[in-house]
Amino acid sequence: MQLKRFLNFVSIKKQRIMKIAKYIRTSTLEQSTLRQENTSHKTYIDKCSGSIPFNERPSAIKLLNDISAKKVETLHVHSIDRLGRNAYDIQTTLNTLNNLNINVYVENIGLYSMIDNNKPNSIFKMITDVLSNVAEMERSSLLERQREGILIAKAKGTYKGRQMNTNETTQQFLSKYNQSHLELIKDENYSIRKLASITNLSNNTIVKIRKTIKSN
């Protein structure tokens, strides 16, 4: 009898553990995810620009589908900026997860979005509001510094775009685009028009990318 109770306890505990997942995002294919992957839970990894909305990232879409299928109850992220491109997007993602009764745990601040029988954690809300705005300001500052750097380089005559009469390799061509966009473009279920609206790329560019991927 005791053995049966113990096995039931282990089974229940295993089921609970299996319902904890972790979401990871890095900006480039080369960037290591090891810092964020320190976990025994199932992971969903997107290697894409943070400018892509959460609900348009391939692995995030899979995660949301698994949440809808009741396969995930608690979601871990290393930091709040993994969930969106700006303060609005981050809060939209958090609201979506909250409406799905997902308890979000942000590791670098050590807080859960819900406490005491799934009640909203007011401290979590206050801190993530601040951090999401800080993340947006940091990203805006980075983009501004990049623009200033290009203008300075152009003024000095040292800025070089792609030189004429040079051929790009397939890898060089594809590396110019977000990996998540490439994954979507490979999917024949998406129309050219739909992909254009998601990626902000022209129809001709999407056709060229799709042909390049197929021939590679």
Residue (of 25, 37, 30, 28) closest to 61 by Cα position: 25
CA gap 189, 200 in Å, rounded: 18
| pLDDT tens track for 104-138 | 999 999 999 998 878 899 999 898 888 877 776 76
Query: Looking at residue 167, what is its pLDDT?
Result: 65
* Spatial distance between the Cα atoms of 83 and 77, rounded to a whole number of angstroms: 8
Could you tell me the mean pLDDT of each successive run of 10 residues in the chain, 216 residues long?
52 56 78 57 86 86 93 93 84 91 93 88 88 72 72 72 62 76 84 82 87 82
User: What's the confidence (pLDDT) of residue 175?
Assistant: 75
- pTM for the full model? 0.58
Instruction: Quote the pLDDT of residue 68.
Output: 92
User: What is the pLDDT at residue 169?
Assistant: 77
Distances (CA, A) of 51 to 77, 95, 129, 142, 202: 17, 19, 18, 13, 18
Cross-strand pairs, 120: 114
pLDDT score recorded for residue 30: 44
Q: What is the DSSP letter of 167?
A: P
The pLDDT value given to residue 179 = 73
Q: What's the confidence (pLDDT) of residue 186?
A: 85
Rounded distance between C-alpha atoms, residue 74 and residue 44, angstroms: 13
209: left (phi over 0), alpha (psi -120 to 50) or beta: alpha
Rounded CA separation 48/181 (Å): 8
Backbone angles phi, psi at 102, to 5 degrees: -95, 130
